[in-house]
């Protein structure tokens, strides 16, 4: 996966979250963002990493997003790793 595809997946995840009446307020509360911020930050790779991190908090959210987009379940985390700042930290 390249960065361009990763950004498309993350932007799709953001759109999916924004359209989800139950999860969107939770995401906004978690990030301290508002609806205007979502539009403004949609092109920021660091913010897109936070979108994918939020989805990864619950397997059911990953499954629902991937099923709606026709993506394999590992795609969001692969996308996260391809975005700037999205690499997994190794503490050893």
CB 3 within 8 A of CB 83: yes
Cα 38 to Cα 68: distance, rounded to the nearest angstrom: 20
- Residue 88 within a domain: no
What is the percentage of the chain residues whose pLDDT exceeds 90?
Answer: 63
> What pLDDT does 86 receive?
55
Domain count, the chain: 1
- Tell whether 92 is covered by a domain: no
**Separation of alpha carbons 20 and 25, rounded Å:** 9
- In this predicted structure, what is the pLDDT of residue 90? 47
Q: CB pairs under 8 A, 24+ apart, for 55-58?
A: 55/13, 55/17, 56/80
In which domain, by residue range, is 63 found?
3-82
Low-confidence ranges of the chain (pLDDT < 50): 90
Supply the pLDDT for residue 87: 58
Residue 65 lies in a domain: yes
Residue 90 resides in a domain:
no
Angle between helices 59-69 and 3-19 (to 10 degrees): 110
In a domain, 47, yes or no: yes
What tens digit of pLDDT does each residue of 32-54 get? 888 888 888 888 888 899 999 99
pLDDT of 43 reads 85
> Residue 49 falls within a domain, yes or no?
yes
Domain contains 91: no
């Amino acid at each position: 996966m390249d960065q361009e595809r990763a950004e498309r997946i993350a932007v799709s995840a953001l759109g999916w979250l924004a359209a989800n009446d139950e999860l969107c307020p939770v995401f906004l509360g978690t990030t301290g963002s508002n609806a205007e911020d979502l539009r403004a930050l949609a092109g920021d790779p660091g913010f897109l990493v936070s979108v994918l991190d939020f989805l990864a908090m619950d397997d059911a959210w990953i499954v629902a997003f991937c099923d709606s987009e026709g993506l394999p379940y590992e795609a969001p985390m692969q996308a996260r790793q391809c975005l700037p700042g999205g690499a997994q930290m190794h503490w050893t």
